[in-house]
Amino acid sequence: MALDKILSIGGKPGLFKLLTQTRAGFVGESLLDGKRVSVGMRNNVSVLSEIAIYTLEEEVPLREVFQKMKEKEGGKKTEISHKAEKIALEEYFFEILPNYDEDRVYTSDIKKIVQWYNILVDNKITDFTDSKEEEKVASAEEE
C-alpha cells in the first residue's frame, strides 16, 4: 500500500488507511486497532505522501525519511521509542537526516515520525518509494 492512501487525522492517535470517499468526507480504518471512522471535511487531515521535512537546503519528502529509517533499522522497527527523551530522539533523527532544520523540526514532529514509521512496519507497509517516480521511470524505459 502506498503512502498516498495513509492518513493522519488531527486529534486522533495513529494512522488511518483511506477506505472510501463520501460526499461529506471519507471513511478511514485505523492501523492501530482496525476501527473505522468517518471523517468530515472540517477535520485536519494529512496524507503522508504530501508531508515533507525541513532541511537546511530543501524539503525532503517523508517517504525518503522513512526509507532512510528502514535502511538504518534493516526493515525492522526503530531501536528508539517515540516516548524517549528529547535528546535521544534528536540524536536518532540526526543520524537519519543530518541536515534537518532544528529550528523548524520540533521534537513533537520527530516523535510522530518515529511512531508513524513503527506503525507502518507493524502493518507491513514498508514500500516507501514514490509510485509516481516509478511510473515515470517505467514509461521512459518503454520509450
DSSP characters over 98-113? TTB-TTTS-HHHHHHH
According to CATH, what is the number of the domain 52-122? 1.10.10.1650
Per-residue pLDDT of the chain (143 residues; tens, 9 = 90+): 789 999 999 999 999 999 998 888 999 999 999 999 999 888 899 999 999 999 999 999 999 999 999 999 999 999 999 999 999 999 999 999 999 999 999 999 999 999 999 999 999 999 988 765 544 444 444 55
Check residue 2 and give its pLDDT.
84
Sequence ranges of the domains in the chain: 3-48, 52-122
Check residue 1 and give its pLDDT.
72
Using alpha carbons, select from 92, 113, 133 the residue that is nearest to residue 8. Answer: 113
Say if strands 16-21 and 25-30 run parallel, antiparallel, or are unpaired.
Answer: antiparallel
**Same fold flag, 3-48 and 52-122:** no
> Per CATH, which fold does 3-48 belong to?
SH3 type barrels. (2.30.30)
Check residue 77 and give its pLDDT.
95
Task: Say if pTM beats, i.e. exceeds, 0.85.
Answer: yes
Contacts with 38 (C-beta within 8 Å, 6 or more apart), sequence order: 22, 24, 25, 26, 27
Check residue 138 and give its pLDDT.
43
